[in-house]
Structure 1
Amino acid sequence: MPLASKLRRFKELDDILRGLKILVDGLYDSEVFPSSKEEAGRVSREFDAVIALALTGGIEEMLLGVGETGKPLIIIAHDQLNSLAASLEAASKLREIGSPSWIIGAWTPGARKEIESILEGIEAASRFAGLKIGLIGDISPWLVYSKPDPNSLKELFDIEVIKIDMDELYSKINSSKVYQDLKYRVLKNAKRVEISESDLEDALKVYQALKEIVKEYDLDALTVKCFDLIGDLKTTACLALSLLQDDGIVAGCEGDIPSLLSMILGKLVSNSPTFMANISEVGKDYLCLTHCTIALSMVNEYHLLTHFESGIGVGISGRILNGGRVTLLRFRPDLKKIRIIRGVLLEGSPSKALACRTQFRIKVKGDPRRVIEDPLGNHHVMVLGDLVDAIKSFCMLKGIEVEVL
């Protein structure tokens, strides 16, 4: 949506417009050129979000016309014709009335990436509402802090929690049959296998049973009280949760709902699986994550071992060999705050014998000791890539406090 004052007497305006349109090329569905506040507001109601190209000064009222509709507004300002001046004045008012808006300076390096990140956050916010998540069994008893009120999920995000008894899962496991092609899917790329064929089959029965539950209840995500499987069926859910993630179904451990929501958000902004893990070590500029399950598609290589704590079933030791940027996130259990940690995955993996099978060491840009000094719970979620801006945009739209390390 290009916006300019009625004067429009500058011959350079067409050149500026062409340059800004190149910046946002492919990011918008249609183009309109309103001439009044009322027209800007009326047109904006037809879209999920608006990118406004602030061509000149004197457009504050038109920007308010867009913002007052409640639609997310990205204002692209340039460094001439009082573009930024008008953008600052309008955005200040929009923030005052609680209307989500962002100003992007077209002259700044990375402006295109910043716009894309904001749009990813806007898309995630729209898809986050109305989800159905399955709580299979219950919240694990050691999660003494990570227990959100299910009513708050409905009130804040319109997310429905469906409780499913472990006996229903067990019944489906006992009636499952594992075919050779499913075993081949898991074994074909495994670098090392230290489990028996019967252990693999038992773990795959859990996967098939959970897939059946997802289909039956039309779930978008699930979390399972997985340690019950160890005592009751002498198997684990680690492999099942890994394969579900690769199938595009967000699947978490231990009945941890704040972590499951973090996984859902991570997947929405990255369009990729995420890694839910324990914090096992915090140093001056790094922290370590460990768990016995990870989506196979996230790693360069994986070993099929037993589950760490129990020594039975199937646990996954996954490795990402080439490092890279990552983002960690964690909802506070009241769901009103998210901590985001920007980091770099260090090459190679820790090899602690007395820790969960998949282990990563992450160099953190901020102070990782905040995790100890002001903890928000144990489990954190790792997403590949730097997705901080997208998550911050999501939080602005949802009214969630953000802390970035």
Structure 2
Amino acid sequence: MPIEVAAAPNVDAETREEYRSLYRKILGGLGEEANFIVVLTGGSEPEILAAAGDYNIILAWPHYNSLPAALEASAALKEAGRFAHVVQLEGPGAEPPRDKLERLLRVVDLLRRPPRLGLVGSPNRWLVASWLRGKPDVVIDEGEVYARSVERDGADVAERLVKGAERSDFSARDLAPIAAYAKALAERASGLDGITLGCWCFDFEEVRKRGWTPCISLALLNDWGVTATCEGDVRALYSAVVLRRLSGRPSWISNVNKIYDWGLLLTHDGAPPSFGKYAVVPRMATKAAAALRVTVEPGRPATLLRVSGDLKRALLLRGVTAEGERVEACSTQIAVRLTVGSGRDVLRAGLGNHLAFVLDDVYEEARLYLEHLGAQVIP
């Protein structure tokens, strides 16, 4: 791990090496994604710039004008197009919050390795504002995935899903083809950060032929570590992948079905089972197998994101899950009380329907990432 020390010219070599050795121990095991620069004093700005790489985490404290020097140098690095973020410590030798550093390194990893996305089939016809510049990276033939799924056995996964449900309107045998389809999708997603599926959820003839819809397939994939979203919405998939990689937890996308003064009501089928207690219920409209009605307990942190097609704007919200009403819509319905942003911002942003979200607070990390890309973050 690159660890540099920056100080005023009058600071001797022995002191510099003392702090370099100390922070090498403190930061041990964090990985190689970024340069760490420990700022000892003011007047160190030229040394900070000389030690900097493309991705920099600068550690500074309130004493000896360390923090002012870090802020000045950070501004210069950002203006030069390099990533720089200042973390304030309590004083010389103090340990930084490791969780914060780990999340910052996820930001750096996301910048160094941009999301690779796959589109299975083609976007559903009602998606008219869901393209994303330069994406997808891979287009996957849906018929090929379906053919592979027929050769897979999903009984084991289906049995666990039914066993874990509060209630199931379908047997494990009913759900086995859906689980097999998830396995086939997971195989084709190898090497990708995520996939989005143009699905047949409202194609009554296709539902009649297959006897099921893939909502639960996608829900399973998200709990297996593959970000998977529906309808072929590449913009929403990108947003979900960003949140997943920053958090390390499953993300999902939902329709914005109602806007309140205090927040949003999000609805969709296919939320990951790990989000909460769940029931297996018929799909809306077609009544086919199957959807998950997941109940998310109130009070959980949430970060919500949707990017524009050119990545020049991004709607980024923070909130907590709340008690909410039910409306005539998809099975999983989650109310979010917003603490950063408002329902009006969703209307003003005008970036489309699906909001990606993760049940975690990664708002600051997502903002850092988006701003480094040059996006205007709303609000």
State the TM-score, normalized to the length of structure 1.
0.81
- How far is the alpha carbon of 1:198 from its aligned partner? 4.9
The letter for the 2-side match of 1:360 is: I
* 1:275 pairs with 2:261: no
- How far is the alpha carbon of 1:303 from its aligned partner? 0.2
- Could you say what the CA RMSD is over the residues aligned between the two structures, in angstroms? 3.0
In the alignment, what sits opposite 2:65? Answer: 82
Structure 1 residues 214 and 114: CA distance shift in structure 2, 3 A: closer
Correspondence list, 1:232-381, <5 A: 232=206, 233-299=210-276, 301-346=277-322, 348=323, 350-352=325-327, 354-365=328-339, 366-381=341-356
Secondary structure, aligned partner of 1:345? strand
* 1:4 pairs with 2:39: no
Tell me how far apart the structure 2 counterparts of residues 89 and 77 of structure 1 sit (CA, whole Å): 12
Match 2:129 to one of 145, 165, 170: 145
CA shift digits 1:296-338 (9 cap, x unpaired): 1222x10000112322120001112252211011111222322
- How far is the alpha carbon of 1:273 from its aligned partner? 0.7
Structure 1 residues 145 and 185: CA distance shift in structure 2, 3 A: same
* 1:398 pairs with 2:373: yes
Secondary structure, aligned partner of 2:58? strand
CA shift digits 1:47-84 (9 cap, x unpaired): 531121111112111111133x4x21222221221212
CA shift digits 1:176-231 (9 cap, x unpaired): 4443x22221111100111255532332232233234335xx54421111126653
* 1:61 pairs with 2:46: yes
- How far is the alpha carbon of 1:356 from its aligned partner? 0.7
Asked whether the 8 Å contact 1:309–1:356 carries over to 2, the reply is no
Secondary structure, aligned partner of 1:102? strand
Tell me how far apart the structure 2 counterparts of residues 66 and 339 of structure 1 sit (CA, whole Å): 35
- How far is the alpha carbon of 1:136 from its aligned partner? 1.4
CA shift digits 1:362-398 (9 cap, x unpaired): 1101222110122211001111111012112322443
CA shift digits 1:130-170 (9 cap, x unpaired): x2x32111011111111224xx24xxxxxx52222332233
CA shift digits 1:97-124 (9 cap, x unpaired): 222212232249x962544432221122
The letter for the 1-side match of 2:332 is: T
Percent identical among aligned pairs is 28
In the alignment, what sits opposite 1:34? Answer: none
Match 1:383 to one of 353, 358, 364: 358
Aligned residues: 367
Tell me how far apart the structure 2 counterparts of residues 342 and 122 of structure 1 sit (CA, whole Å): 21
Structure 1 residues 24 and 231: CA distance shift in structure 2, 3 A: farther
Asked whether the 8 Å contact 1:117–1:389 carries over to 2, the reply is no
In the alignment, what sits opposite 1:126? Answer: 112
The letter for the 2-side match of 1:293 is: G
Structure 1 residues 114 and 220: CA distance shift in structure 2, 3 A: closer
Tell me how far apart the structure 2 counterparts of residues 171 and 93 of structure 1 sit (CA, whole Å): 55
Tell me how far apart the structure 2 counterparts of residues 80 and 88 of structure 1 sit (CA, whole Å): 14
* 1:93 pairs with 2:76: yes
| Structure 2: gaps spanning 5 or more residues | none
Tell me how far apart the structure 2 counterparts of residues 230 and 250 of structure 1 sit (CA, whole Å): 27
Match 1:135 to one of 119, 122, 135: 119
Tell me how far apart the structure 2 counterparts of residues 125 and 57 of structure 1 sit (CA, whole Å): 30
Asked whether the 8 Å contact 1:66–1:73 carries over to 2, the reply is no
In the alignment, what sits opposite 1:190? Answer: 165
Asked whether the 8 Å contact 1:302–1:318 carries over to 2, the reply is yes
Tell me how far apart the structure 2 counterparts of residues 126 and 388 of structure 1 sit (CA, whole Å): 20
State the TM-score, normalized to the length of structure 2.
0.86
- How far is the alpha carbon of 1:91 from its aligned partner? 2.2
Secondary structure, aligned partner of 1:53? strand
Secondary structure, aligned partner of 2:225? coil
